Amino acid sequence: MNLVAIAFSTGWASGVNAYLVVLTLGLADRLGGFEQIPDQLARRDVLVAAGLLFAIELVVDKIPYLDSTWDVVSTVLRPTVGAALGVLMAGDAGASEAVYGTISGGSALASHLVKAGTRLAVNASPEPFTNIGVSVGEDVTVLGVVALLLANPWLAFTLTAVLLVAGIAMLVLLARLVRRGRARWRRRRSGPSGTVSP
């Protein structure tokens, strides 16, 4: 049953920063020999590739609008990495790979969509510091989730489920605020007859 919690939590974290998840799990397995982590993640080529991709994301993720472009590209990559991690962990435990791949990939897609939507809203702010703060917060949260996952999978599952629900609620709220702001802006730009003033 721990595999459900592991698949969901790993997927959620992958949807936020897939390369950091792979890098952290691989290093944890290499240094600590955790038996719930597939040995494939500790291979040198996997660690080097994950490290390079994480380094790119570390920079790109903090630049307004470039981060949203990266998110568009990652719409396929993050859920795919999440699903692959679910399959690897299930196969390592001799469980149904398709089920755990779907759980992990599904939670990765959901958290990725929340992240991408939040970033679009954050990009509406005129300064870059909000993007930097959000990006650092995401990375710290992913590291915390992976560490908690290794210590207590069900606590990690509970945390990531709460974070996913909270993220969806925040995204809905942000979308409403953006809509209201646009409506106010249009009213200000329109003259009394409803035409746009020069």
Write down the domain spans for the chain: 2-189
The pLDDT of residue 49: 96
Q: What is the pLDDT of residues 106-136, one digit of tens each?
A: 999 999 999 998 888 888 777 778 888 999 9
CA distance 122 to 170: 12
The pLDDT of residue 95: 63
Task: Read off the pLDDT of each residue in 145-151 and give the average, rounded to a whole number.
Answer: 94
The pLDDT of residue 197: 47
**Residues 6 or more apart whose Cβ sits within 8 Å of residue 120:** 68
Q: What is the pLDDT of residues 11-64, one digit of tens each?
A: 999 999 999 999 999 999 999 878 888 889 999 999 999 999 999 999 999 888
CA distance 71 to 65: 10
Task: Give the chain's mean pLDDT.
Answer: 88
The pLDDT of residue 122: 82
For the chain, the C-alpha Rg in angstroms (whole number) is 19
User: Which CA distances in Å does 109 have to 87, 103, 181?
Assistant: 15, 10, 28
- Contact (Cβ atoms closer than 8 angstroms) between residue 54 and residue 20: yes
The pLDDT of residue 192: 56
Q: pTM of the entire structure?
A: 0.85
CA distance 129 to 192: 38
